[in-house]
């Protein structure tokens, strides 16, 4: 199958290229041309982008669910629904984020994710084959957290890390765990960070009450991510900058950011980008099952979540994930905060790809990389999506 996309504005991490063509062959980007130099004939399909943006597919590394489904449901249908919903919003790859729960529940969820990944990788004919983002791995959010910064994580299952226990979870996942979020100050955390680094698994500081020095020790051991910066963390002060001060000023760390205008004030988001630069901020959704649905009552693990005006909260008012989609996050960065399009897109493509170790094949429009591509209108409405060169059927029932 050989496909050409013409008349596109290609969004690179550094600039926007006008009037370009991209050739897709065997699921890869085979060629990139400028100024209308597309050869005549020889294509199975030619798509006219009509001057719209052509970007790499977005990568959502932190997502719990959408459209009434949760990763912790531990069913094929749940992941398939989440995958199909992602594609409609320009996401072509994602990590399935778990929640603090019993070890057996976590093992069930990661095993289910491993089975789903195996099905996708084997190219098995399963429902909606042409309507789904690629599940790139698993984001283990908990249970190794600080109870004082638990946020919406169920307290009864929060615990100190044990490497043998973690080995069992990783084994159940078929070695598909890509990120583990933990609190670096709790007993056993530093040894766990070293162990995870030795396994090639990224470690994120999250739901933590760590001070500045404790966080720096974790970074020195191998922490390279910060889970939804400012949320679920010790507050920043001018005399004790804490975990926030450590991750914002250390170039080894990527910072996840929820750009919904609820989790962070616009000035705070600008501060984060100013501190980290355009190459160390990762836009995430942190979406939960209400994403894509109307206000109402939902759940996050065993807890009831109440969504009002798009805000997801527990009964005590604690934020419980979001209803954000990643194309809306990019829209907010551009049209509400005033950042250039190519920088905002980078934060949802190349930066997350680099943060989780898949940038050799994902995250930018380069010859030889996977043909994960999206044609967006000026307002970031999704027009056309390719996942590994397959044109997606954008379903309305998810």
Cα 207 from Cα 221, distance rounded (Å): 18
Q: Please, are residues 224 and 254 in contact by the beta-carbon 8 Å criterion?
A: yes
Nearest in space to 327 (alpha carbons), one of 307, 347, 313? 347
The CATH number corresponding to 57-363 among 3.40.50.2000, 3.20.20.140, 3.30.465.10, 1.20.58.220 equals 3.20.20.140
228 annotated among ligand-binding-site residues: yes
Helices (H), 24-172: 76-88, 103-121, 163-172
State the Cα–Cα distance between residues 29 and 15, nearest whole angstrom.
19
Cα–Cα dist 224/349, whole Å: 17
- Chain centroid to Cα 98, Å, comes to 13
> Tens of pLDDT along 19-78?
999 999 999 999 999 877 777 778 899 999 999 999 999 999 999 999 999 999 999 999
Q: Return per-residue pLDDT of the chain as tens, 398 residues.
A: 899 999 999 999 999 999 999 999 999 999 999 877 777 778 899 999 999 999 999 999 999 999 999 999 999 999 999 999 999 999 999 999 999 999 999 999 999 999 999 998 876 544 445 669 999 999 999 999 999 999 999 999 999 999 999 999 999 999 999 999 999 999 999 999 999 999 999 999 999 999 999 999 999 999 999 999 999 999 999 999 999 999 999 999 999 999 999 999 999 999 999 999 999 999 999 999 999 999 999 999 889 999 999 999 999 999 999 999 999 999 999 999 999 999 999 999 999 999 999 999 999 999 999 999 999 999 999 999 999 999 998 877 77
- Maximal C-alpha separation, the chain: 66
Active site residues: 286
pLDDT tens sequence across 241-279: 999 999 999 999 999 999 999 999 999 999 999 999 999
Give the CA distances from residue 268 to residues 4, 5, 209, 305, in Å, rounded to whole numbers and listed in that order. 41, 38, 20, 26
Q: How many CB atoms lie within 10 A of CB 315?
A: 10
Report DSSP letters for 20-37, one per residue: EEEEEETTEEEEEEESS-
Residues paired with 373 in a beta bridge: 56, 386
């Amino acid at each position: 199958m050989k496909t050409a996309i013409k008349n596109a504005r290609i969004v690179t991490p550094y600039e926007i290229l006008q009037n370009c063509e991209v050739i897709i062959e065997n699921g890869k980007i085979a060629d990139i041309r400028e100024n209308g130099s597309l050869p005549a004939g020889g294509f199975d399909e030619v798509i006219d982008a009509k001057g719209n943006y052509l970007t790499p597919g977005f990568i959502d590394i932190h997502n719990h669910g959408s459209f009434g489904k949760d990763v912790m449901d531990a069913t094929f249908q749940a992941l398939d629904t989440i995958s199909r919903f992602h594609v409609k919003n320009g996401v072509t790859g994602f990590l399935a984020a778990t929640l603090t729960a019993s070890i057996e529940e976590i093992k069930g969820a990661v095993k289910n994710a491993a089975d789903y990944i195996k099905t996708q990788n084997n190219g098995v004919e399963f429902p909606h084959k042409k309507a789904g983002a690629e599940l790139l791995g698993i984001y283990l959010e908990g249970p190794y957290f600080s109870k004082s910064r638990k946020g919406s994580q169920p307290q009864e299952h929060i615990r100190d890390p044990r490497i043998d226990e973690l080995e069992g979870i990783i084994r159940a996942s078929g070695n598909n765990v890509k990120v583990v979020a933990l609190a670096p100050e709790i007993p056993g955390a530093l040894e766990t960070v070293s162990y995870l680094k030795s396994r090639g698994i990224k470690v994120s500081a999250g739901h933590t009450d760590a001070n500045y020095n404790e966080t720096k020790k974790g970074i020195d051991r191998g922490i390279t991510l910060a889970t939804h910066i400012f949320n679920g963390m010790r507050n920043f002060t001018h005399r004790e900058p804490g975990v926030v001060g450590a991750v914002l000023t250390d170039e080894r760390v990527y910072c996840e950011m929820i750009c919904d205008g609820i989790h962070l004030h616009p000035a705070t988001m600008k501060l984060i980008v100013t501190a980290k630069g355009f190459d160390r901020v990762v836009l995430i959704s942190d979406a939960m099952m209400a994403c894509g649905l109307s206000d109402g009552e939902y759940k996050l693990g065993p807890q009831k979540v109440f969504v009002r005006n798009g805000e997801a909260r527990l009964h005590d008012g604690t934020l419980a994930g979001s209803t954000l989609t990643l194309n809306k996050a990019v829209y907010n960065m551009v049209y509400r905060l005033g950042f250039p399009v190519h920088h905002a897109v980078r934060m949802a493509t190349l930066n997350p790809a680099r943060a989780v170790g898949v940038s050799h094949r994902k995250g930018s429009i380069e010859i030889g990389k996977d043909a994960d591509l999206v044609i967006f209108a000026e307002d970031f409405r999704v027009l056309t999506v390719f996942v590994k060169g397959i044109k997606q059927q954008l379903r309305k029932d998810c």
